[in-house]
Chains A and B, each alone.
Chain A
Amino acid sequence: MENRAIFSGKLLPCLLILPQLAVSLIFFYWPALQALQQSFLVQDAFGLSTEFVWFENYLSLLQTPEYYHAIGVTFVFSALVAFFSLTLGLLLAVMANRNIRGVQIYRTFLIVPYAVAPAVASVLFIFMFQPGLGMIARALQRNGVDWNPVLNGTHAMILVVIVAVWNQISYNFLFFLAGLQAIPKSVIEAAAIDGARPMRRFWTIIFPLLSPTTFFLIIVNITYVFFNTLGIIDTATGGGPNGATQTLVYKVFQDGKVGTDLGGSAAQSVILMVIVVALTAFQFRYVEKKVHY
């Protein structure tokens, strides 16, 4: 950061920065440190005494099969949501980037899902997929699919993936569109003069030039799935059936709500924090470098 201090005075800037520092310290650093401290402690059943146990909470966490199951669920969920919402977003953005009439109108409709809260989006889809009364559920049942997300883990996963993809399309569409519009026309025209057909131009020129946007969006989508889908899962499936849709964040939430194993729950939080910091660092690296091939 360049040094461009222009006004003199020491008290005023301190007062100006104080509110944000106070809020950050009270609601950010303090709880984060408490989670860290808690994760090294074990409390007895009555909360009377606590004992410092080093990494025992982490080790016992890494020995529970449910934790690995939650890691697997998170991985599958993130991969599916990122793949489908990125593909659809890119397809729609490429189409909207052509010189066609009514792009403004299409765009207006396509950004609506961004404004819908994940939990509310979930309610919209539950209504369509509710066995017995939902329009799509009934259509599936008529065609011999025994659709039941309450009992069938795969169906529950499909349901939350659909909601999350729907919720995330707008974001990917807007960023891909901005990325496409930043590609200079002259490059594409040059390729066209060389005889490259549209599909070839897309894969050999446009797609590689979009790679910074794509990398950025992959990270954002994974972060979205990690944290913002909690409302979707809580409303649609409650993590069930049998943990089939229990992601890491949802597990922290559920274990913490029960509140019997404070240390284990804190250890889970700390692991999540490490994952987010890693993802963010990774994102900064790539966004800074502006990957091209």
Chain B
Amino acid sequence: MIEHRRFGNLLPHLILLAGVAIVAFPVYLAIIASTHDNTVIANGQMPLYPGSHGLETYWNTIVSGTGKTTRQAVGVMMLNSLIMAIGIAVGKIAISIISAYAIVFFSFPFRMTAFWTIFITLMLPVEVRIFPTYKITSDLHMLDSYAGLILPLIASATATLLFRQFFMTVPKELVEASKIDGAGPIRFFWDTLLPLSVTNIAALFVILFIYGWNQYLWPLLITTRDDMQTIVIGIKKIIDVHDALTEWQVAMATAVLAMLPPVAVVVLMQRLFVKGLIETEK
């Protein structure tokens, strides 16, 4: 720092600690609540340290209902969320990397028309065209299916733009060199371009996985069967019983389970996450 401070860095530490406390407290409270008995929670007497019902609650939540409700096992919901998140991430990356490849490395009729057709989809999130999209998905008999959960959400231009930008920085010489070596376009894509794109793909995967896992409105609309629910909508049904019947310990355990995969991805792959976040938005 520029000038010497008498109290050193006390103030920044205090402010950052306060920030961390605000950010972490709700999560901490959910973890604690998931280890207590529902009667303790419902009385409002829950202590701030873990209780002894954790294993039992998580077992009940993940594997089976508690008998009181006909609730779907949360393990099934997590599996649905996982399939949806990975499907969206992989699908989006796959279709956009090849379309960006076509746009940057080829010249073909209507190339710019195709580019703009894709580019404009950047502007409209699924929320604004939700009911017409629902109707079309229903006409295509995709309600209550993984295809219906995944396909409408992979229509977006962000990934295409990112790959396009990256491909345009690939030096011409590299392409010429592989041409001299006798490589065709498909060979060049597999052997040269794809290995160069690994970091970008990984960064994008992190962002898209979180995006897919955290989807709310779309799965809420198109899933009617309980066994197709994702965990993010399943949790609402658990607390929807708006009175004393809410099993708070189950709700909190579900919240913890719903946070776990995306938080783990962000924390463990922090560098990729920050890269992905900043590059997809710019």
Interface residue A127 (Cβ < 8 Å from any Cβ of B): yes
Interface residue B79 (Cβ < 8 Å from any Cβ of A): no
Task: From the candidates A91, A166, A253, A272, name the one contacting B26 in the complex (CB within 8 A).
Answer: A166
Selected interface stretch from A16-24, A47-55, A64-72, A75-83 = A16-24
Query: Which A1-33 residues have C-beta < 8 A from chain B?
Result: 1-10, 12-14, 16-17, 19-21, 23-32
Selected interface stretch from B1-9, B52-60, B65-73 = B1-9
Query: Which B223-282 residues have C-beta < 8 A from chain A?
Result: 232-233, 235-236, 239, 248, 251-252, 255, 258-259, 262-263, 265-267, 270, 273-274, 277-278, 281-282
Determine which residue in B9, B95, B128 has the highest number of CB atoms from chain A within 10 A of its CB, and name it: B128
How many A residues touch the partner, as a band?
35 or more
Interface residue B217 (Cβ < 8 Å from any Cβ of A): yes
Per-residue A-contact encoding for B1-30, CB less than 8 Å = 1, 0 else: 111000001011101100110111011011
Interface residue A113 (Cβ < 8 Å from any Cβ of B): yes
The answer to whether A95 and B263 touch (CB under 8 A), given A16-B98, A230-B127, A249-B127, is: no
Per-residue A-contact encoding for B93-121, CB less than 8 Å = 1, 0 else: 01110110111111111011011011001
The answer to whether A265 and B131 touch (CB under 8 A), given A174-B274, A231-B232, is: yes
CA A204 to CA B135, docked complex, whole Å = 54
Check A133–B102 contact: CB distance below 8 A: no
> What is the interface of chain B mostly: helix, strand, loop, or mixed?
helix
Interface residue B198 (Cβ < 8 Å from any Cβ of A): no
Q: How far is the CB of B30 from chain A (nearest CB, A)?
A: 5
Kindly list chain B residues whose C-beta atoms are within 8 Å of the C-beta of A158. Answer: none
Check B127–A227 contact: CB distance below 8 A: yes
* Shortest Cβ distance from B246 into A: residue: A130
CA A113 to CA B259, docked complex, whole Å = 9
Query: Which B192-234 residues have C-beta < 8 A from chain A?
Result: 210, 213-217, 220, 232-233
Check A119–B232 contact: CB distance below 8 A: yes
Task: From the candidates A24, A123, A166, name the one contacting B251 in the complex (CB within 8 A).
Answer: A123
Interface residue B175 (Cβ < 8 Å from any Cβ of A): yes
How many B residues touch the partner, as a band?
35 or more
Q: How far is the CB of A256 from chain B (nearest CB, A)?
A: 4
Q: How far is the CB of B159 from chain A (nearest CB, A)?
A: 9
Check A133–B152 contact: CB distance below 8 A: no
Check B278–A4 contact: CB distance below 8 A: no
Check A276–B259 contact: CB distance below 8 A: no
Q: How far is the CB of B34 from chain A (nearest CB, A)?
A: 10
Check A123–B255 contact: CB distance below 8 A: yes
Q: How far is the CB of B245 from chain A (nearest CB, A)?
A: 13
Kindly list chain B residues whose C-beta atoms are within 8 Å of the C-beta of A205. Answer: none
CA A161 to CA B258, docked complex, whole Å = 22
Kindly list chain B residues whose C-beta atoms are within 8 Å of the C-beta of A16. Answer: 98-99, 101-102, 106
Check A231–B217 contact: CB distance below 8 A: yes
Interface residue B78 (Cβ < 8 Å from any Cβ of A): no
Check A111–B273 contact: CB distance below 8 A: yes
* Shortest Cβ distance from A11 into B: residue: B108
CA A265 to CA B41, docked complex, whole Å = 41
Check A108–B235 contact: CB distance below 8 A: no
CA A116 to CA B27, docked complex, whole Å = 10
* Shortest Cβ distance from B28 into A: residue: A124
Kindly list chain A residues whose C-beta atoms are within 8 Å of the C-beta of B137. Answer: 27
Check B132–A38 contact: CB distance below 8 A: yes
Kindly list chain B residues whose C-beta atoms are within 8 Å of the C-beta of A178. Answer: 274, 278
Query: Which A84-117 residues have C-beta < 8 A from chain B?
Result: 88, 91-92, 95-96, 98-102, 106-117
Check B168–A4 contact: CB distance below 8 A: yes
CA A88 to CA B21, docked complex, whole Å = 13
Q: List 13 A-B contacts (CB under 8 A).
A: A12-B185, A20-B95, A24-B117, A25-B117, A92-B19, A117-B215, A135-B46, A166-B22, A171-B277, A192-B3, A234-B216, A234-B220, A252-B127
Apart from the given pairs A34-B132, A111-B273, 8 other A-B contacts in the complex at a CB distance below 8 Å: A1-B115, A9-B106, A12-B186, A20-B99, A100-B13, A117-B216, A117-B259, A249-B128
Partner-A contacts on B (CB < 8 A)? 1-3, 9, 11-13, 15-16, 19-20, 22-24, 26-27, 29-30, 33, 41-44, 46, 94-96, 98-99, 101-109, 111-112, 114-115, 117-118, 121-125, 127-133, 135-137, 140, 151-152, 154-155, 160, 168, 172, 175, 184-186, 188, 210, 213-217, 220, 232-233, 235-236, 239, 248, 251-252, 255, 258-259, 262-263, 265-267, 270, 273-274, 277-278, 281-282
